């Protein structure tokens, strides 16, 4: 077989050789495509399961809701609905894709109707489509991987990335995707090579693949010469990477002597497993929606992990952001599934204040852990002063509970993310101890270019003078008042932006572990007194 070369956009650097494994995705669930007969029976099983579960649900509902489900079941039980699906599956289309394309045609028929009642029926069909899909994908589950495979998909939800065991390495190639999506950030944090935006050819990728996540290139069926040539490079890369991280790391001081704090963004304890805390100035961002994903209801699970993080940091400050779900980070039973524009919907602190019990569970764990070291609590997606006031009231209520029951706790600074443009222009109206600029969200909101849409990736540009002006405004306010201002988005580790950010007055960068040393190297090469 001859080598075939494809290219996309590099989203997480690194070279990797592995076997392709294609996954079909809905909200983090996956299944592998089987032969036509198995695909047909999988779809029939899913349809039967969807009907059965609806019947159970109807028993617990009454009146109108049960009626609607009853109607949906009538449609689902009608063989006419599935008629066009079977020949497609026989032609080699996956059960998931065949089902979706048939249903989408049916749905389009209703959407095209002149009559609003019939147009509205499309939602029932969408509901049916998605319910069968969910059964087809069989609920959230772990992908059975031997290790080192390259995950091939149209797009990948962050929850799926978290469900995969990456301890043996691996890679990701996506048909769609964006370099600023959360899954790309997670891949960079774990040093998993990732190429996005390869287009429809993702469906045809199979066999051995060599990928270069930095260049965005893919070689299918690499020749033995290519592999030998590159595997030597892979070895050098991975060992030098490990050496670099383990090393104490040089200080981050610009060529003209300005000290910059470089902190880490982390999503799990694995991220820091091979790093000596001496190499950084602390943790600037802990993404608890991933860090304690399996323990959002369990105070003790959270407490244990927060304490572990503080112990690792050996007295360096650890900033822990409260659960930032919503947007492109779904969390079942927590995030509303039906928002048309989730990035502008209930996410971050907005959801926390809605789920006050879960928020207080987290605050209890955080305050208890704060007895073990300097822990800072950071609130995501703050928009109004009231958001901070409500959060502070919750913190105070939890402190009182702890005090009254004699449970030891520590004092925490309370800070906020700056992601909303309206906030960046008036940081002074918020009663907080520190600010951290989420440059990815600030950029997508300020440039009106969605971070999960690769087609507008060129527009979502943090170096836009309007975005930099906002960052500068917050930095100036921080320097004036002595309140710390950091950057915890991708901009902080982007070699092309670090100079601009420091010039704008930023003195603390929080970066993925994999970018720690390169960020420091860039800082050492810069001269802030330069006048260009």
Partner 1 sequence: MSAVMASAQITNEIGLHARPSVKLTQLAKKFSAKLEVATSQEGPWVDAKSPVKIMRLKAVQGETLFFRAKGNDATDALGELAALVSRKFDEA
Residues that bind partner 1 (CB under 8 A): 67, 70-71, 74-75, 78-81, 106, 109-110, 113, 115, 117-118, 121, 124
C-alpha pair distances (Å), 5 with each of 16, 104, 197, 423, 444: 15, 33, 15, 46, 32
Q: Shortest approach of partner 1 to residue 88 CB, angstroms?
A: 17
Q: Shortest approach of partner 1 to residue 125 CB, angstroms?
A: 9
- Nearest one of 168, 190, 140 to 11, comparing CA atoms: 190
- Which SS3 state, helix, strand or coil, does residue 390 take? helix
Pick 80 or 448: Cβ nearer partner 1: 80
Give the long-range contacts of residues 243-250, CB within 8 A, separation 24 or more. Answer: 244/517, 245/274, 245/275, 245/279, 245/513, 245/516, 245/517, 246/274, 246/275, 246/276, 247/279, 247/517, 248/276, 248/278, 248/279, 249/278, 249/279, 249/280, 249/516, 249/517, 249/520, 250/520, 250/524
Q: Shortest approach of partner 1 to residue 124 CB, angstroms?
A: 6
Q: Shortest approach of partner 1 to residue 118 CB, angstroms?
A: 5
Pick 71 or 386: Cβ nearer partner 1: 71
Pick 105 or 246: Cβ nearer partner 1: 105
Pick 50 or 502: Cβ nearer partner 1: 50
- Which SS3 state, helix, strand or coil, does residue 445 take? helix
Pick 48 or 217: Cβ nearer partner 1: 48
327-362 as b/e: b if 16+ CB within 10 A: bbbbbeebbeeeeeebeeebbbbbbbbebeebbbbb
- Asked whether the CA dihedral 182, 421, 453, 25 is positive or negative, the reply is positive
Q: Shortest approach of partner 1 to residue 113 CB, angstroms?
A: 5
Pick 74 or 294: Cβ nearer partner 1: 74
Q: Are 46 and 136 in contact (CB under 8 A)?
A: yes
Q: Shortest approach of partner 1 to residue 80 CB, angstroms?
A: 4
Pick 117 or 357: Cβ nearer partner 1: 117
Q: Shortest approach of partner 1 to residue 127 CB, angstroms?
A: 12
Q: Are 254 and 241 in contact (CB under 8 A)?
A: no
């Amino acid at each position: 077989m001859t080598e075939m070369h494809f290219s996309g956009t590099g989203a997480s650097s690194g070279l990797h050789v592995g076997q392709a494994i294609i996954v079909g995705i809905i909200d983090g669930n996956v299944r592998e495509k089987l032969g036509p007969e198995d695909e047909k029976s999988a779809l029939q099983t899913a349809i039967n399961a969807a009907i059965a579960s609806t019947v159970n649900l109807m028993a617990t509902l009454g009146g109108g809701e049960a009626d609607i489900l009853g109607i949906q079941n009538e449609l689902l039980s009608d063989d006419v609905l599935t008629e066009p699906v079977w020949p497609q599956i026989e032609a080699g289309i996956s059960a998931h894709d065949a089902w979706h394309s048939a249903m989408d045609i049916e749905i389009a028929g209703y959407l095209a109707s002149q009559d609003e009642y019939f147009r509205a029926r499309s939602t029932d069909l969408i509901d049916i489509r998605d319910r069968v899909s969910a059964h087809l994908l069989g609920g959230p589950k772990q992908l059975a991987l031997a290790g080192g495979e390259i995950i091939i998909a149209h797009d990948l939800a962050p929850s799926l990335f978290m469900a995969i065991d990456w301890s043996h390495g691996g890679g990701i190639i996506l048909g769609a995707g964006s370099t600023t999506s959360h899954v790309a950030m997670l891949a960079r944090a774990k040093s998993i090579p990732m190429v996005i935006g390869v287009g429809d050819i993702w469906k045809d990728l199979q066999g051995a693949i060599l990928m270069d996540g930095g260049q965005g290139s893919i070689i299918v069926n690499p020749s033995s010469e290519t592999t030998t040539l590159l595997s030597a490079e892979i070895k050098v890369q991975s060992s030098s990477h490990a050496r670099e991280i383990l090393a104490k790391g040089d200080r981050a001081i610009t060529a003209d002597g300005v000290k910059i704090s470089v902190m880490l963004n982390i999503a799990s304890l694995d991220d820091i497993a091979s790093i000596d805390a001496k190499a950084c100035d602390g943790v600037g961002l802990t993404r608890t929606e991933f860090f304690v994903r399996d323990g959002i209801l369990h105070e003790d699970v959270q407490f244990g992990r927060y304490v572990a993080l503080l112990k690792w940091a050996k007295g360096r400050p650890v900033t822990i952001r409260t659960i930032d779900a919503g947007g492109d980070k779904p969390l079942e039973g927590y995030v509303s599934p039906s928002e048309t524009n989730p990035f502008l919907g209930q996410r971050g602190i907005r959801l926390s204040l809605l789920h006050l019990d879960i928020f207080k569970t987290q605050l209890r764990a955080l305050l208890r852990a704060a007895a073990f070291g300097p822990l800072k609590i950071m609130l995501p997606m703050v928009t109004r002063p009231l958001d901070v006031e409500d959060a502070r009231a919750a913190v105070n209520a939890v402190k009182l509970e702890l005090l009254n029951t004699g449970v030891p706790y520590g004092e925490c600074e309370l800070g906020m993310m700056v992601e909303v443009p309206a906030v960046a222009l008036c940081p002074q109206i918020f009663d907080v101890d520190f600010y951290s600029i989420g440059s990815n969200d600030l950029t997508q909101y300020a440039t009106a270019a969605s971070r999960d849409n690769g087609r507008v990736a060129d527009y979502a540009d943090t170096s836009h003078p309007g975005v930099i002006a906002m960052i500068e405004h917050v930095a100036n306010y921080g320097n004036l008042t002595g309140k710390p201002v950091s950057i915890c988005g991708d901009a902080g580790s982007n070699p092309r932006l670090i100079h601009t950010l420091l010039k704008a007055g930023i003195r603390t960068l929080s970066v993925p572990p994999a970018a720690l040393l390169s960020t420091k190297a860039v800082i050492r090469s810069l001269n802030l007194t330069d006048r260009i």
